[in-house]
C-alpha cells in the first residue's frame, strides 16, 4: 500500500512539473561583457537542482571518507566486545554442562579480553558488570572444583568490580555475590561463615525467599534452633513450603527448642512465638505441655494448651491417632492434682460428659476414673477404672489403671483385691 502511494505521488509530481515547465516561457539573461546569454528558466532551475544534489553527495562522500578511521575503530571495538561476550556465553555453557575447568578458563578469558580493551583506551559502559559476572562464574567453577583459594580470590574481585557501573546494577551484583558466598560457605559446612554473609545483606534482600532458605539451612547446621524457627515461620508465611513439609519442619524445630528450654519464661515465650496452626498440632501441644509440667509449671497453663486438642478429639475422634490419644490422656492425668478448684471441677464435668457420650472408650473411662480418684470420689473411680483396666490396649496405661485399683482396694482395706490388682499390674 505504501509503495502504491509513493508511486502515485511520484506521478503527480512528474505531471505537475511537466505542466509547469511546458507553460513556462520565462528566460534568464546572463550578461558577461561584451556578451549576453539568454537561457531558459527551466534550464536554470534544472541546473541549480543538479548543482545542489552534486554538492550534497560530494559532502556526504567526504564525510564518509573522514569517518572511515572512526568506523574502523568502532568495528574493532565491536569485534573485541563480541569476543568477550562470546567467551562469557561459552563459560556459562561449559558450567551448565559440568565442565568446570573449561568454564573457569573461559571466564578468565573474558577478563583478559576486557582488559585488552581497557588497555587500548576503549572503555565499555558495562565493563564493571562484565568483569563481575566473569569473576562469579570463575568462582562458581572453582567452588565446584573444591579450589577454595581461587574461589575466594575471584569473589573478592567480584565484590570490588561493580563500583564503576550503574547504581542499580552495582547493587544487584553486590547482593548476588554475597548470596553466592553464603551458599558456598553452606556447602563447605561452615554455618557461621554463611550466617555472617547473610547478616551483611540489606534488610530487603534478607527477606527474599532464597536468602531465608539459606538462613534456615545455616541456622539448623549451626544448631541455632530459635533462629531457624523464626526463619521457617517466615518462609511458611510466604508459602515457600508445601503444607506437609512445613508441618514436619516446624515440629522438629519446636521439639529441639523444647528440649533446650530449661526455664518457664523461655517456655512461655516459645509458645507465644508459635502460630495458631502450630498450637493446634497435637504432637507439639502435648510435647510442650509435658515439658512444661516437667519444669514444675502451673498445671492450669498446661491444660489451657491442651484444651483445643481435647476439643478436637471429642469432636472428631479420627483426627487424633491412637498414640496421640494415649499421650493426651497421660498428660492430662499428670496435670490433675485433686485440688478443689473451679478449673478442675470444670474439667471433671467435661471429662464425665465426654465419657458418657462415648462409654466404650477405655481412655476416657481411665481419665475420668483417675480424676475421680484424685478428688476422692472413690465409688466412681472404682467403677470407671474397673471397666477401663481390662479394655486398655497399651501396657503402660493399663499398668497404671491396675495400680490405681490396688490403691483404691487398700483404702477400702480389701487386701485380697489389692494384691490381685498389683499382680495384674506386675504382669503387664
Would residue 389 count as lying in a domain?
Answer: yes
Would residue 409 count as lying in a domain?
Answer: yes
d(CA 395, CA 417): 20
Out of 140, 165, 190, a domain closes at 165
Out of 117, 144, 165, a domain closes at 165
Cell numbers at 144, concatenated: 565446584
- CATH at 414: 1.25.40
Dihedral, CA of residue 199, residue 201, residue 207 and residue 211, to nearest 10: -80
Helix (H) or strand (E) holding 354: helix 342-357
Would residue 210 count as lying in a domain?
Answer: no
Out of 165, 194, 214, a domain closes at 165
Dihedral, CA of residue 203, residue 205, residue 208 and residue 210, to nearest 10: -130
CB 282 within 8 A of CB 328: yes
Would residue 382 count as lying in a domain?
Answer: yes
Would residue 34 count as lying in a domain?
Answer: no
Distances (CA, A) of 18 to 12, 41, 51: 10, 14, 21
**pLDDT reported for residue 162:** 56
Dihedral, CA of residue 28, residue 30, residue 36 and residue 37, to nearest 10: -60
- DSSP per residue over 286-304, as a string? HHHHHHHHHTT--HHHHHH
Would residue 38 count as lying in a domain?
Answer: no
Q: Which domain covers residue 90, as residue numbers? A: 72-165
Model confidence, pTM: 0.65
Would residue 312 count as lying in a domain?
Answer: no
**pLDDT reported for residue 55:** 92
d(CA 310, CA 204): 42
As averages over each run of 10 residues, the pLDDT of the chain (428 residues) reads 82 73 72 78 81 91 84 79 86 90 91 80 76 90 91 88 65 88 90 89 85 88 82 79 76 83 86 83 87 87 88 85 87 81 83 83 85 81 81 82 81 76 72
Instruction: For residue 123, give the 3-state DSSP assignment.
Output: coil
What is the domain count for the chain? 2
Would residue 271 count as lying in a domain?
Answer: no
**pLDDT reported for residue 45:** 79
**pLDDT reported for residue 57:** 92
d(CA 261, CA 255): 10
**pLDDT reported for residue 281:** 85
**pLDDT reported for residue 21:** 66
Instruction: For residue 421, give the 3-state DSSP assignment.
Output: helix
**pLDDT reported for residue 164:** 52
Cell numbers at 39, concatenated: 537561457
Amino acid at each position: 500500500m505504501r509503495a502504491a502511494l509513493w508511486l502515485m505521488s511520484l506521478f503527480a509530481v512528474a505531471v505537475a512539473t511537466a505542466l509547469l515547465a511546458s507553460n513556462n516561457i520565462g528566460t534568464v539573461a546572463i550578461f558577461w561583457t561584451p556578451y549576453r546569454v539568454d537561457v531558459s528558466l527551466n534550464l536554470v532551475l534544472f541546473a541549480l537542482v543538479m548543482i545542489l544534489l552534486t554538492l550534497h553527495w560530494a559532502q556526504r562522500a567526504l564525510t564518509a571518507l573522514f569517518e572511515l578511521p572512526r568506523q574502523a575503530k568502532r568495528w574493532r571495538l565491536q569485534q573485541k566486545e563480541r569476543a568477550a561476550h562470546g567467551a562469557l556465553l561459552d563459560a556459562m555453557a561449559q558450567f551448565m554442562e559440568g565442565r568446570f575447568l573449561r568454564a573457569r578458563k573461559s571466564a578468565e578469558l573474558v577478563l583478559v579480553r576486557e582488559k585488552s580493551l581497557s588497555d587500548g583506551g576503549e572503555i565499555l559502559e558495562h565493563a564493571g558488570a562484565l568483569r563481575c559476572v566473569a569473576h562469579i562464574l570463575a568462582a562458581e567453577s572453582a567452588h565446584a572444583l573444591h579450589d577454595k583459594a581461587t574461589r575466594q580470590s575471584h569473589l573478592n574481585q567480584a565484590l570490588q568490580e561493580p563500583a564503576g557501573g550503574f547504581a542499580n546494577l552495582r547493587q544487584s551484583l553486590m547482593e548476588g555475590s554475597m548470596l553466592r558466598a553464603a551458599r558456598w560457605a553452606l556447602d563447605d559446612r561452615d554455618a557461621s561463615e554463611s550466617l555472617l554473609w547473610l547478616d551483611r545483606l540489606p534488610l530487603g534482600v534478607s527477606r527474599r525467599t532464597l536468602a531465608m532458605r539459606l538462613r534456615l539451612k545455616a541456622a539448623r547446621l549451626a544448631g541455632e534452633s530459635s533462629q531457624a524457627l523464626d526463619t521457617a515461620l517466615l518462609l511458611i508465611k510466604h508459602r515457600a513450603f508445601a503444607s506437609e513439609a512445613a508441618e514436619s519442619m516446624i515440629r522438629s524445630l519446636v521439639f529441639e527448642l523444647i528440649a533446650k528450654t530449661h526455664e518457664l519464661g523461655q517456655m512461655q515465650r516459645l509458645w507465644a512465638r508459635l502460630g495458631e496452626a502450630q498450637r493446634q498440632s497435637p504432637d507439639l501441644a502435648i510435647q510442650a505441655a509435658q515439658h512444661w509440667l516437667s519444669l514444675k509449671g502451673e498445671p492450669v497453663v498446661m491444660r489451657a494448651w491442651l484444651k483445643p486438642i481435647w476439643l478436637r478429639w471429642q469432636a472428631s475422634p479420627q483426627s487424633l491417632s491412637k498414640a496421640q490419644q494415649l499421650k493426651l490422656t497421660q498428660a492430662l492425668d499428670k496435670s490433675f492434682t485433686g485440688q478443689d478448684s473451679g478449673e478442675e471441677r470444670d474439667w471433671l464435668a467435661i471429662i464425665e460428659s465426654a465419657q458418657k457420650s462415648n462409654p466404650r472408650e477405655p481412655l476416657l473411662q481411665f481419665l475420668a476414673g483417675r480424676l475421680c480418684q484424685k478428688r476422692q470420689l472413690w465409688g466412681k473411680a472404682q467403677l470407671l477404672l474397673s471397666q477401663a483396666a481390662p479394655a486398655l490396649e497399651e501396657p503402660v496405661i493399663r499398668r497404671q489403671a491396675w495400680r490405681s485399683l490396688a490403691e483404691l482396694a487398700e483404702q477400702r482395706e480389701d487386701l485380697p483385691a489389692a494384691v490381685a490388682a498389683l499382680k495384674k499390674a506386675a504382669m503387664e
